[in-house]
Amino acid sequence: MKNKSVFIALGLMLLSCESSVHENNENSNASFEASRSKKADLPPNFLSKIPTGKAISVIEARKKNRTGEKLIIEGAICGMLEPFTKDRAMFVLGDLTIKTCDKISGDNCPTPWDACCEDRKKIISSSLTVCVLDESGKIKEGTLKNVMGIEAGRKIKVEGLVDAQSIPTSMVINATRIELL
């Protein structure tokens, strides 16, 4: 299975978010920063502020989860404490209907993108994994965290193809372009 690591990583990412996540936020962020390997090297013109076109939501995209289909999806990098992997160019894209902490009046959460108050089933059913592949079709090495404006909580549009290993419960998009909103 070419992208087996995608499904393993997504599963671990989704299972690792606990309701007590804020207690360990500083330690978790420090250890992520210290342990990450390198920044992913993105192709020229991969990131853009030029409109990609009309987008659909993450929830709509999950309904169109057909291998090889080209989609433009709008969402936010959110849904867990750390939506990025540390050594692969991939992250979690959540639907804009996910109630993140920044949408809760008076919430002073230090990680407003993590949606710790949202129902876990809603987060799982309203998110997908975005991967950036290299020339040989493997996930690029290095993290996408803070690469050229890609950051947790950021609204983006992703243009890409549904991965051949994508399944109804775990959708994967291989990004060909990202528009920063």
Domains in the chain: ranges and CATH: 4-180 (2.40.50.200)
**For residue 108, what pLDDT is reported?**
84
- In angstroms, rounded to a whole number, what is the distance separating the alpha carbons of residues 142 and 66? 27
pTM (whole model) above 0.85: no
**For residue 35, what pLDDT is reported?**
46
Q: Has residue 67 got a pLDDT over 80?
A: yes
Contact 174, 133 (CB under 8 A): yes
**For residue 13, what pLDDT is reported?**
46
pLDDT: which is higher, 10 or 46: 46
| Mean pLDDT of the residues in the chain | 84
pLDDT-above-70 percentage for the chain: 80
Q: Has residue 136 got a pLDDT over 70?
A: yes
**For residue 33, what pLDDT is reported?**
52
Report the b/e string of 32-56 with b at 16+ CB within 10 A: beeeeeebbebeeeebeeeebeebb
Residue 59 CB coordination number (10 Å): 18
User: Dihedrals φ, ψ of 51, to 5°?
Assistant: -55, 135
